[in-house]
Amino acid sequence: MKIIARWIILVSCLMLSSCDRGRQPIFDISLEGKAAPDFSLPLLSDDSPLKLSDYRGKLVLLNFWASWCPPCMQELPTFMKMQAKYGGDKFTILGVATEDKDTLLPFVLDNKVNYPVTHNLELASKVAAAYGDPDGALPYSVLISPDQTVLKIYTGIIKAEQFEAMLDKHL
């Protein structure tokens, strides 16, 4: 019984401490200033393909996240406010969830996430690695210019003030 209790405590601490699974993540920001890799992931809403190239001409914040990640949940309200305020012809957030549809769909519907969200753990992990996050540490965001150049890579939570400054600079 003590072993089970210790196991539960250990797993709980790891989940609550950070989304990088209890170790220092490896990030590669060398993609900044280079062409953003195109990708295709299934949209949560209808499984149609979401391609980065379809958003050429818009400033895009590509956000890698998961519903089980406390820091991701902390930044979600800010992202939804920024999408409501700035989203449209010039800007959008694209949420790349690193989990599968069955878990994700109820969460997105309950929270009324107001920007496109993709699903598929395996494919999302490959896209994250292509964007400099081979460990899948969350949250992880990539700002992509309208001509699809990587402007900036953000590790960790993006706070409202930081988000506003980013959009003021690039919109």
The per-residue pLDDT for 29 is: 83
The per-residue pLDDT for 166 is: 94
pLDDT band, residue 22 (cuts 50/70/90): low
Rounded mean pLDDT, 86-93: 97
Q: How many CB atoms lie within 10 A of CB 169?
A: 10
Q: Is 25 left (phi over 0), alpha (psi -120 to 50) or beta?
A: beta
The pLDDT > 70 percentage for the chain reads: 85
Please give the model's pTM, rounded to 2 decimal places: 0.84
What is the overall mean pLDDT for the chain? 88
- The helix/strand count (H/E) of the chain reads as 5, 7
pLDDT band, residue 4 (cuts 50/70/90): low
The pLDDT > 90 percentage for the chain reads: 80
Distances 134 to 28, 61, 74, 157 between C-alpha atoms, Å: 8, 19, 23, 18
Rounded mean pLDDT, 81-103: 96
Q: What does the pLDDT look like over 151-161, one tens digit per residue? A: 999 999 999 99
* Range 123-157 burial, b when 16+ CB lie within 10 A, else e: bbbebbeebbbebbbbbbbbbbeeebebbbbbbbe
Q: What does the pLDDT look like over 63-78, one tens digit per residue? A: 999 999 999 999 999 9
Rounded mean pLDDT, 154-170: 95
